[in-house]
Amino acid sequence: MAKSGKMALWFRAARPFSYTASVIPVALGGLWAFSSGPVNWPNFVLAILAGVLFHTGTNLVNDYYDYKKGVDREGTYGSSGVLVAKLLKPSQVFRGGIVSFVLGIVLGLYLVTQAGWPILALGVAGFIGGFFYTAGPFNYKYHAIGEIGVFIMMGVLMVLGGYLVQNRPFDWNVVLFSLPISFLVAAILHANDIRDITDDRAADIKTIAIALGKKSATLLYDLMILTAFVLVVVMALTDVLPPWSLLVFLALPLGIKNMKTFHQSTDGKSAALAMMDVATAQLHMAFGLLLCISLLLARFI
């Protein structure tokens, strides 16, 4: 019982609900490669696993530094809550993050032997972007560029990595293809930051949401969501994406529901906003899965 309880704590600390942000983009990159030819399925799976390990490392290190800086404290919604509730020690969470990064690096080095230096470059960028998200000296999350970093690291670069690990040549169309899911992954963080405007301001950190204020930050959230759908339409009309990609519009009601929740909440501390990062992650997952299905349909039909 004690062992299962400890595992449950680590499961909570890792925040697996957020794994859609790493699994979906890497899978999309691999399926883009599959839409035009054969793929190495072991590499496909290992690339997803490496992405999840880097994501886990980022979550745990982020928990550690948010707690140390006072961003996460009693009464706030942020992170997993295991440190605020004193369920795990800060040193344990930090070591867990380092172990996750190390395991991800080991898998990444194997993939380098399979697909060459581009994977090494992407891996180095992923580690730097993940670890220094909240760690000094960069801790860019605290300087109002978190969304930009997440857009690049967990959007464009992860899709590109999932594609390049299949030993395919660089293709700008892959970068274009990555943009819709990149906007949605950035929206997950932005949803979190809108909810936490009051708490983050008290912790003396800067976010785009704080700089804009709740009303304008909510409009930016709307723009991120709607841009993802508009880009799919544009790419479907210009043959970058197959017509099947319009299936993503089945996820639009989720996006509309999320946007309404933000607009109907006048108080950034409203309980209605407590789970908006999770709700946005669910939109990201639904959109991404539908896009994956569209690529498979284009390959087989």
CATH number at residue 112: 1.10.600
Percent helix, strand, coil in the chain (nearest 5)?
A: 75, 0, 20
Helix (H, G, I), strand (E, B) or coil at 109: helix
Q: Is the pLDDT of residue 183 over 90?
A: yes
114's CB contacts (< 8 A; 6+ apart) are 40, 43, 165, 167
**What mean pLDDT is predicted for residues 159-187?**
96
Contact 184, 121 (CB under 8 A): no
Q: Is the pLDDT of residue 55 over 80?
A: yes
Q: How far apart are CA 7 and CA 267, in angstroms?
A: 36
Q: What is the pLDDT of residue 270?
A: 63
**What mean pLDDT is predicted for residues 181-186?**
98
> Among 229-243, 254-268, 281-295, which is the least confidently predicted range?
254-268
Q: What is the pLDDT of residue 17?
A: 82
> Among 55-59, 75-79, 110-114, 217-221, which is the least confidently predicted range?
75-79
**What mean pLDDT is predicted for residues 199-213?**
93
Q: How far apart are CA 265 and CA 153, in angstroms?
A: 30
What is the C-alpha end-to-end distance of the chain, expressed in Å? 50
Per residue in 94-127, pLDDT (tens digit) is 999 999 999 999 999 999 999 999 999 999 999 9
Structure tokens at 16: 């697996």
Residue 216 lies in a domain: yes
pLDDT band at 74 (very low <50, low <70, confident <90, very high): confident
Residue 4 lies in a domain: no
Residue 258 lies in a domain: yes
Containing structural domain, residue 57: 12-300
Q: What is the pLDDT of residue 3?
A: 63
Residue 6 lies in a domain: no
What is the chain's mean pLDDT, rounded?
Answer: 93
**What mean pLDDT is predicted for residues 50-55?**
97
Query: 255: buried, middle or exposed (CB in 10 Å: 19+, 13-18, 0-12)?
Result: buried
Residue 2 lies in a domain: no
Closest by CA to 108, choosing from 39, 21, 47, is 47
Q: What is the pLDDT of residue 76?
A: 77
Residue 122 lies in a domain: yes
Q: Is the pLDDT of residue 242 over 90?
A: yes
pLDDT band at 81 (very low <50, low <70, confident <90, very high): confident
Q: How much is the pTM?
A: 0.94
Q: Is the pLDDT of residue 157 over 90?
A: yes
Q: What is the pLDDT of residue 1?
A: 45
Residue 241 lies in a domain: yes
> Which amino acid appears at position 48 of this protein?
I
Q: How far apart are CA 194 and CA 18, in angstroms?
A: 17
Residue 294 lies in a domain: yes
Per residue in 255-265, pLDDT (tens digit) is 999 999 999 88
Please count the structural domains in the chain: 1
Q: Is the pLDDT of residue 13 over 80?
A: yes
Q: Is the pLDDT of residue 73 over 90?
A: no
